[in-house]
């Protein structure tokens, strides 16, 4: 099993104590987002977890506790952009705080295990293509030698972020300009020792030197864990997404980063209400099972290839 921690919320930043408690106890409860009274009990012991994929804008609370992950393989998807507090409201200052944290994480884990995400890219009157190129170049230079890969994407409009996109007066640029912009990003990253990949983009950017990406990446996972896995494409993700199947233990409407482009939060009021239910000792993130819930054991297993090979 690949454990996703988490596409739904920033667990490393806000809920790392809960996560480490779950690791100690070896299981977690997760509500079905489509049926709130359906709860899964998920085994997260090293015997079934082949790799953990962390998603975060700030892993600082985990830096001193990585030793508690002994027995697990993992890597981080670390989002680091050029936006200010007007878009990423609760993310600390990038140059003063987040770049040094990225560098420290890379030193502790190795740069193969830290993927830099510069996404999503939004074009506005303030955040122009020129602005993004300048910010990207400054960050890339600072991360030279600390990561091997940068992932980019362009913002998608969802019902949950449409209002904020309109308030920002987010706009699109023409295909020719977009390809030129993507090519310049790729060239900057290459100069800083990184390859560039796209996340769930319909447009083909290979001519710009940008490969299609899998954030939950079978090849990377196999490289990290040192063996092959049997993993299929995750059909629960968008058609353009190349990720393999995983199990997510996060919860929607719990991320406190306050990003204006977020699709995982319905409203700030929902986030505030759910965060008020946070108990690091609970088996469930920002809640507890009650008498109306039906708790079932989710069947999970290691995906590692177990076949023996013999020399010819």
User: Tens digit of pLDDT per residue, the chain (312 long)?
Assistant: 999 999 999 999 999 999 999 999 999 999 999 999 999 999 999 999 999 999 999 999 999 999 999 999 999 999 999 999 999 999 999 999 999 999 999 999 999 999 999 999 999 999 999 999 999 999 999 999 999 999 999 887 777 777 888 888 888 888 999 999 999 999 999 999 999 999 877 777 889 999 888 889 999 999 999 999 998 887 777 776 778 999 999 999 999 999 999 988 988 999 999 999 999 999 999 999 999 999 999 999 999 987 544 444
User: Is the peptide bond preceding residue 120 cis, with omega within 30 degrees of 0?
Assistant: yes
| Rounded-to-integer distance, Cα 311 and Cα 144, Å | 41
Whole-number Å distance between alpha carbons of 85 and 92: 8
Residues sharing a CB contact under 8 Å with residue 309, sequence separation 6 or more, in sequence order: none
The pLDDT of residue 224 is: 96
127 phi/psi in degrees, rounded to 5:
-95, 75
The pLDDT, as a whole number, for residue 271 is 96
Distance between terminal CA atoms of the chain? 31
Helices (H) and strands (E) in the chain, counts: 8, 11
Given this model, what pLDDT does residue 213 score? 82
* pLDDT at 243 (0 to 100): 87
Which alpha helices (DSSP H) does the chain contain, by range?
A: 11-14, 16-25, 99-109, 129-142, 162-167, 175-191, 218-225, 268-275
pLDDT for the residue numbered 310: 40
Contacts of 248 (CB under 8 A, 6+ apart): 4, 5, 6, 7, 8, 30
Strands 35-43, 114-121: pairing kind: unpaired
Largest Cα–Cα separation, the chain: 65
* 231 neighbors 218 (Cβ within 8 angstroms): yes
Query: Tell me, what's the pLDDT at 146?
Result: 98
Q: How far apart are CA 24 and CA 72, in angstroms?
A: 12
pLDDT given for residue 266 in this prediction: 86
């Amino acid at each position: 099993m690949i454990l996703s921690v988490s596409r739904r919320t920033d667990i490393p930043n806000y809920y790392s104590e809960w996560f480490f408690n779950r690791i100690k106890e070896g299981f977690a409860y997760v509500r079905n987002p489509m049926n709130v009274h359906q709860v899964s009990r998920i085994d997260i012991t090293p015997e079934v977890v082949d790799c953990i994929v962390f998603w975060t804008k700030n892993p600082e609370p985990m830096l001193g506790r990585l030793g508690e992950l002994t027995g697990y393989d993992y890597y981080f998807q670390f989002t680091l952009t050029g936006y200010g507090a007007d878009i990423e409201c609760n993310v600390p200052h990038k140059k003063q705080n987040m770049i040094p944290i990225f560098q420290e994480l890379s030193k502790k884990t190795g740069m193969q295990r830290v993927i830099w995400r510069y996404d999503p890219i939004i074009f506005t009157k303030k955040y122009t293509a020129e602005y993004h190129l300048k910010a990207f170049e400054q960050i890339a230079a600072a991360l030279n030698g600390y990561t091997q890969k940068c992932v980019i994407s362009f913002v998608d409009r969802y019902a949950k972020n449409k209002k904020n996109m309109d308030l920002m007066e987010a706009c699109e640029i023409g295909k020719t300009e977009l390809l030129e912009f993507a090519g310049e990003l790729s060239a900057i990253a290459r100069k800083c020792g990184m390859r560039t990949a796209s996340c769930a983009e319909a447009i083909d950017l290979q001519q710009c030197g940008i490969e299609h990406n899998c954030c939950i990446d079978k090849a990377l996972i196999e490289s990290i864990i040192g063996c092959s896995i049997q993993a299929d494409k995750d059909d629960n993700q968008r058609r353009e997404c190349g990720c393999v199947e995983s199990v997510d233990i996060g919860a929607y409407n719990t991320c406190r980063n306050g990003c204006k482009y977020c699709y995982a939060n319905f409203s700030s009021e929902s986030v505030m209400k759910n965060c008020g239910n946070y108990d690091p000792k609970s088996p469930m993130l920002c809640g507890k099972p009650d008498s109306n819930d039906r708790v079932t054991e989710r069947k999970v297993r290691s995906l590692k290839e177990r076949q023996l090979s013999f020399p010819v």
